[in-house]
Amino acid sequence: MGCGSSGDDGAVVAGVGGAGGDDASVPEASVCPSTQQLCGAECVNIGTDAYHCGGCGKKCGTGEVCVNLVCSLTCAGGAEKCGNKCVDLSYDPKNCGLCGNACKEGEVCGSGKCGVSCTVGTTNCSGVCVSLDKDPGNCGSCGKACVAGQLCSAGNCELSCQQGLTDCSGLCVNLRTDPLNCGACGTACAPGEMCSLGVCSLSCQAGLAECNDTCVNTANDNQNCGACGTKCDAGEI
């Protein structure tokens, strides 16, 4: 296959094994992370990139942002608008905790803080800390994406959220413990607060333990069973 072929959207697609020519420096699609797509010479997330929303070259209008492959005026699922993108400040290494707060090379972003490793409850997938329990692009394992119309519920792609979880703009969350959706979808706790039994507070309520800025019941939490960070094996409760 030769280099330099182009599709209807004008994006140059690099060939396999090609050599020479003006397009020799254009990367192959295989170099992009599993959650991104090659558009021209750049790897982009067509789910959030306002210049390539849902596909290469599909640019959103003025004031719009890209949410789940569709141009929208508002961000959903606890995401924040940073420039022309909706991002999760808890896990985005380019906007960690605050818009524009980029982590240093080699660092990852977990719970809104830059560090050398992901915090408890999240996994490093191509340099981004994600929750394998609810991330539809990395559901159960890095790179395992749910198909359109499915949600990621407790690490499995499902048509609806499992018992105890609520669908908040395509994410299955626990309204009792999620600081971005505390008590109700979109109700975010203030910096320094935790979500305890669906209420934002400075400390966990009686019977709950603080595990990585989240209040959990270690007696029945599969991700923190008996102690913070102790996960049950598949099929165990």
Instruction: Report d(CA 63, CA 14) in Å as an integer.
Output: 33
139 band by pLDDT with thresholds 50, 70 and 90: very high
Write the pLDDT tens digit of every residue in 146-178: 887 788 888 999 888 888 888 887 788 889 888
Instruction: Report d(CA 224, CA 4) in Å as an integer.
Output: 51
Write the pLDDT tens digit of every residue in 84-105: 777 888 888 889 989 999 998 8
Q: What are phi and psi of 177, to 5 degrees?
A: -130, -15
Determine the residue type at 185. Answer: C
Residue 227 has pLDDT above 90, yes or no: no
Q: What is the mean pLDDT of residues 123-146?
A: 88
The ranges assigned to domains in the chain are 1-74, 86-128, 131-173, 174-237
Determine the residue type at 76. Answer: A
Strands 12-13 and 5-6: antiparallel
Structure tokens belonging to residue 69: 């492959």
Q: What is the pTM of this model?
A: 0.45
